[in-house]
């Protein structure tokens, strides 16, 4: 066994230093020392900053529990110790290591329950330096890991009193539970996935709404081409919402343009139009007639003409022309005007 430059025994625990190697041993195991409210606080702050509050809480909780199982297995290997003796030895060891004062109460091996009182622990000091109102879960989960090994069954905890919230000590109760760190990790992952899905759905909904607004603006624009003549090109396929929007916008704007003639350009319509689209033509022309505007249809293909005729619309109610130019010429001539 090698010799160390400095050694000291505290409560039966050996502390050794080899300054030439930069080594520190705590009870024959490599160890390291950190300042609690500066270096360790900065470590906690960094994890929380990067991971976020919810995820970092789970990180500390999971790390504490898993470290606790390592400690529990170490003391479990000391076969001569009973559970209460091992628990007492852990509190002494942790006190010597600066973990604060811990006291075990109501330890019951049969019911696999125990209460732990913590006072002035290093986690409490970090949380206090962070300005938090409630303690973290590293140490509560750490003892849950220890007793899960001691009791041979998964143990979880409930914080009954919190020193950071004003109690004299933090009181944590431990009991058998189906709650595990793995399940908590999966639950957080599912929650994050659900939140991401909801965010994506909200984005899609926003984009869809924006797209619909854009379609409303650019599809079927109302174009005043000449005095008293307004052209409305019909584009694509119309559903109930688009049809109602077209009728509303057109009839709302016709009076402001003092339009005598409404030229509906059907060139951009799908040839495979349905009953809704054909009835739209009849509806918009009938409504326009009520405010003194005559409707002219232009851009009818042969297939579209057959579809309109088969729809039952009385085509004789419309003046129909093959091209937009012819429709505009007709509207002007009816007003005694011409293009020179």
Q: So what's the pLDDT on residue 317?
A: 73
71, 95, 305 from 74: Cα distances, Å: 5, 17, 89
Domain with CATH 3.30.1380.20 in the chain: 34-179
Question: Would you state the pLDDT for residue 65?
Answer: 94
Strands laid side by side in the 170-176 sheet: 101-108, 113-119, 170-176, 155-161
DSSP element (H, E) containing 308: helix 302-310
User: What CATH number has the domain spanning 34-179?
Assistant: 3.30.1380.20
Residue ranges of the chain with per-residue pLDDT less than 70: 1-4, 79, 188, 191-193, 195, 214-220, 271-272, 339-340
Tell me how far CA of residue 77 lies from CA of 68, 72, 120, 150, 308, in angstroms.
Answer: 14, 9, 29, 11, 90
Question: What's the pLDDT at 3?
Answer: 64
Position 278 scores a pLDDT of 80
pLDDT at 277: 80
| Domain covering 219-334 in this structure, CATH number | 3.30.750.24
Gap between the Cα atoms of 65 and 181, Å rounded: 8
Sign of CA dihedral 23, 27, 32, 33: negative
Q: What is the pLDDT of residue 2?
A: 59
Alpha carbons 107 and 175: distance in angstroms, whole number = 10
Residue-wise DSSP of 16-43: EEETTTTEEEETTEE-----IIIIIHHH
Residue 217: per-residue pLDDT: 61
- pLDDT score of 182: 84
Q: Which long-range contacts (CB under 8 A, 24 or more apart) does 149-155 make?
A: 149/68, 149/69, 149/72, 149/73, 149/76, 150/72, 150/75, 150/76, 150/83, 150/86, 150/87, 151/83, 151/109, 151/112, 151/176, 153/112, 154/178, 154/179, 154/180, 155/112
Start and end residues for every CATH 3.30.750.24 domain found in the chain: 219-334
Sequence-distant (≥ 6) Cβ neighbours of residue 285 within 8 angstroms:
262, 264, 295, 317, 318
Predicted confidence at residue 307, as pLDDT, reads: 79
Local structure of 153: helix, strand or coil = coil
């Amino acid at each position: 066994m090698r010799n160390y430059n400095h050694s000291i025994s505290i409560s039966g625990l050996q502390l050794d230093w080899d300054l030439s190697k930069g080594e520190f041993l705590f009870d024959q195991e490599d160890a390291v020392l950190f300042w609690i409210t500066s270096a360790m606080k900065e470590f906690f702050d960094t994890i929380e900053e990067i991971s976020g509050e919810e995820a970092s809480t789970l990180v500390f909780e999971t790390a504490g529990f898993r470290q606790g199982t390592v400690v529990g297995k170490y003391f479990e290997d000391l076969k001569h110790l009973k559970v209460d003796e091992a628990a007492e030895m852990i509190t002494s060891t942790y006190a010597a290591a600066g973990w604060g004062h811990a006291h075990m109460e109501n330890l019951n091996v049969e019911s696999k329950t125990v209460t732990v009182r913590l006072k002035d622990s290093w986690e409490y000091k970090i949380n206090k330096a962070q300005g938090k109102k409630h303690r973290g879960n590293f140490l509560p989960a750490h003892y849950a890991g220890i007793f899960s090994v001691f009791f041979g069954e998964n143990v979880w905890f409930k914080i009954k009193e919190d020193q950071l919230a004003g109690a004299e000590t933090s009181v944590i109760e431990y009991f058998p539970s189906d709650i595990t760190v793995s399940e908590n990790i999966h639950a957080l992952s599912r929650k994050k996935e659900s939140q991401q899905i909801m965010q994506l759905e909200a984005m899609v909904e926003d984009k869809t709404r924006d797209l619909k607004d854009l379609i409303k603006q650019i599809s079927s624009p109302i174009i005043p081409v000449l005095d008293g003549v307004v052209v409305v090109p019909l584009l694509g396929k119309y559903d109930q919402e688009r049809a109602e929007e077209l009728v509303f916008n057109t009839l709302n704007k016709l009076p402001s343009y003092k339009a005598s003639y409404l030229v509906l350009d059907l060139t951009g319509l799908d040839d495979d139009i349905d009953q809704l689209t054909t009835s739209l033509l009849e509806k918009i022309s009938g409504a326009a007639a009520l405010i003194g505007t005559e409707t002219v249809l232009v851009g009818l293909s042969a297939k579209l003409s057959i579809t309109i005729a088969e729809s039952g619309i009385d085509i004789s109610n419309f003046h129909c022309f093959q091209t937009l130019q012819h429709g505009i010429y007709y509207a002007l001539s009816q007003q005694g005007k011409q293009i020179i």
